[in-house]
Amino acid sequence: MSKPFEQFVAATTGRNMTKAAYVAIATGVAVMVLLTVDPAYETAHRWVDALLWACLAFFVFEWVVRLRHAFQAQRGWTYAISGRGLVDAIAATAVPLAMILGANPKTAWLLGVFWMLKVVPGIPGLRQLRRVLVLESGPLLSVLVIFLMVLLLASVAEYFLERDFQPTVFGSVPAALWWAVATLTTTGYGDVVPITPLGRVVAAAVMICGLGVFGLWTGILATGFAAETRRDNFLKTWESVSKVPFFAALGPAAIADVTHMLRTMDLPSRTMIIRKGQTGDCMYFLAAGEVEVDLPGKKVTLGEGAFFGEMALLGNHLRSANITTTRVSKLLVLDLVDFRMLMARHPDLAETIDAEARRRAQENK
C-alpha cells in the first residue's frame, strides 16, 4: 500500500472528515439541486451527470475503505451497524439501488440528499445536542405529553363547538387536528378558523398554551446546553490545571476549587500578553507553550508549568516587563479577586507565590 493511500485511509477512518469529503458533499448536493432545474440541466447535463457520478464514486470508495479497515481491526460489524456506518452505507448505495429497482435517474439522484447526513458526526455541537437530549429526556417528554394532551383536547373541543357550523373543516376530530396543530404551534395558517364565540375562546387558550409549551422546551434545552458547556469547560480546565506542576501538590478538592476560579486562554505565537507599565489585574499560569519575558538588559524564557504576572497583584500594581508568547500557548488566568480568595483558602500557595515573587525581584535588581 502506497504512503499517500495509507495517509488517505488514516484520514478517512479517523474521527473527523477529510476536506475532500466536505467538498464532495457540497458539490454533490449543489449539483443534485441543479438537476431539478430543467433549463440548466438541459444546457449542462453532461457536466451534471459527470459530477454526480464522481461524487457517488468517492462516497462508495470511502465507505469500502472504512468497512475494510474496520474488518481488519476486527470491529467490522460494529462499524457497519453504527450510526456512522449506516449513514456511509446509505450515501453509497441509495442512488444505485434506486436505479437498479427501476427508478427514473433524475428521481434516483434525489436520494443524494442523504449525503448531507455524513457531516453530522463531524459537528461537535450536534454531539453536545445529543447529550443534552439524553440527559433532559425526562423533562422534554413531560412537555411533549402536555403538548399532545392540549392538542387532543383542543381538537375535541373545536369539533364539538364548530361541527354544525363548519362541517367541512371540523366534521371530525382528525380533521380538527390540522387546526389544532397550526394553532398550538402558533403558525396560524388561517385556512381553518373558528367562527363561534366559544370556539374562538378555545383558540385563544390554545395559542397561549402553545407559547407556554414551546417556552418550556426552549428553557429546558437552553439550561441543558449551559450545563453541558460548563461541564466541558470544567473538564478542559481541570486537565490543564492538573498538568501545571505548581498545582501538583494540591488534592482533588483544592484542584476543583482552583478550576472554578481559572479561565483558559489559547494564544498564537508572538502575541503580547503583558505590556510594561499597564495596571495588573490578573496573573497567568502556563499550561502549555512558552513565553518570553523582556527584562532590562536580558530576556528570560518561561516554559510549561511556570507562572507570571503575580508581582502586580502582590504590591506593585504596574506591570514591570513585556511578556510575549514564542509559540502557541495555553494559559490559565487568575483574576485579582479570585487571586485573593485563593491565597486566603490555600496559605501554602500564597507562600510559594510570595517566595517566587521575592526571588524574581532579587534577580531583576
The pLDDT tens digits of the residues spanning 259-275 come to 778 888 888 988 988 88
Cite the DSSP H helix spans in the chain. Answer: 3-13, 19-35, 38-43, 45-72, 76-80, 83-100, 105-108, 124-135, 137-162, 173-184, 197-243, 252-261, 311-314, 336-345, 347-363
Q: Is residue 235 part of a domain?
A: no
Residue corresponding to grid cell 373541543:
157
pTM over 0.75: no
Domain range for residue 156? 137-227
Q: Residue 14: is its pLDDT beyond 60?
A: no
Q: Is residue 239 part of a domain?
A: no
Q: What is the C-alpha separation between 365 and 361, in angstroms, rounded?
A: 6
| pLDDT of amino acid 97 | 93
Q: Are residues 117 and 141 in the same domain?
A: no
Give 18 or 302, the one with higher predicted confidence. 302
Q: Is residue 232 part of a domain?
A: no
Cα 273 to Cα 244, 282, 326: the distances in Å are 19, 11, 11
Residue corresponding to grid cell 439501488:
97
**Residue 330 burial by Cβ neighbours in a 10 Å radius (0-12, 13-18, 19+):** middle
Q: Is residue 194 part of a domain?
A: yes
Domain count, the chain: 3
pLDDT in tens, 198-230: 988 988 898 898 889 889 998 998 898 888 877
pLDDT in tens, 95-130: 999 999 988 888 999 998 998 888 877 676 777 788
Most confident of 213-217, 234-238, 310-314, 333-337: 213-217
Q: Is residue 62 part of a domain?
A: yes
Q: Are residues 8 and 103 in the same domain?
A: yes
The domain boundary, picked from 66, 92, 121, lies at 121
What are the cell numbers at 339? 487571586
What are the cell numbers at 31? 449539483
Q: Put the strands of the sheet holding 298-302 in their side by side order.
A: 272-274, 322-325, 291-295, 298-302
| Mean pLDDT of all residues in 300-315 | 77
Q: Put the strands of the sheet holding 307-308 in their side by side order.
A: 263-267, 329-335, 282-288, 307-308
CATH label of the domain that carries residue 347: 2.60.120.10
